[in-house]
Amino acid sequence: MKNTIFTGSGVAIVTPMNEDGSVNYDAYADLIDFQIENKTDAIITCGTTGESSTLSDEEHREVIKFAIEQTAGRVPVIAGTGSNDTKYAIELSKAAEELGADGLLLVTPYYNKTSQRGLVAHFGMIAESVKTPIILYSVQSRTGVNIAPETAYELSKYESIAAIKEASGNISQVAKIRALCGDNLDVYSGNDDQIVPLLSLGGKGVISVLANVAPEVAHNICQYYFDGKVAESAALQLEYLDLCNDLFIDVNPIPVKEALNMMGMNAGPCRMPLYEMTDAAKDKLAATLAKHGLL
């Protein structure tokens, strides 16, 4: 059994931007403090929701550094260091390790993609280059590559590969990963609408978009379950299902940044090519936020 990086709700935190597109570090500090004050169990920086794909190399490292320093050990910080270039992923992972990240989030290679054998080689090379625990990130809808359960099992043999963020939406696949890997690979939900089903299979929590706007809700869905209050956990999951869905009414992180801006949290714009939502989508999102008392 490997050490668990965190249990509960880890926020896939946005990277706030100024109107000129630069990173707004003052707003980032406020968002991190807001998360920790409202029971978020971990900060996941520079993931998909953090717009890592449009951060320059210098920005990527600086955002990770800032998140670690601002969090100041209050909760674990997991740094997104994945790439479709194995060499660059190794460099970025080493840099995050030197900065003091508690974990690394490694997405599957995108665009050039690879085979399942290639995934084992790619992630294996990264795992052998660092000691910091790694969370694999399987999100075929974005990368075109799925981590098959058998591949997850092979990767679980590496000491530094500790977990997988499962965003396939396929609960049967999650069950097979759990059956094959047991306690040698923790599983986190990558979908806010499937937290409870995944916890029921032995999952450790969620890496959450919802937590950006409702951190205590995401935390409580997990905590209720851990405390044996399964009915309460499921009820809360279902109560917020509409918000989970509306945060994906457009391409992530467009809606969640819009929601934070509506809430006065100063997330700023997304970087192009991510473009603002339609007025109709904004109205729908605002109505759902208001329904839950978030406006």
* Active-site residue list: 137, 165
Q: How far apart are CA 259 and CA 281, in angstroms?
A: 11
Question: Of 193, 185, 186, which Cα lies nearest the Cα of 167?
Answer: 193
- Residue in this structure with the two tokens 């100041």, named with its chain if needed: 72
CA dist list (Å): 204 to 128, 200, 212, 257? 24, 10, 19, 26
Q: How far apart are CA 94 and CA 60, in angstroms?
A: 13
* Cβ neighbours, 10 Å, residue 293: 7
Torsion of CA 39, 44, 49, 52, to 10 degrees: 160
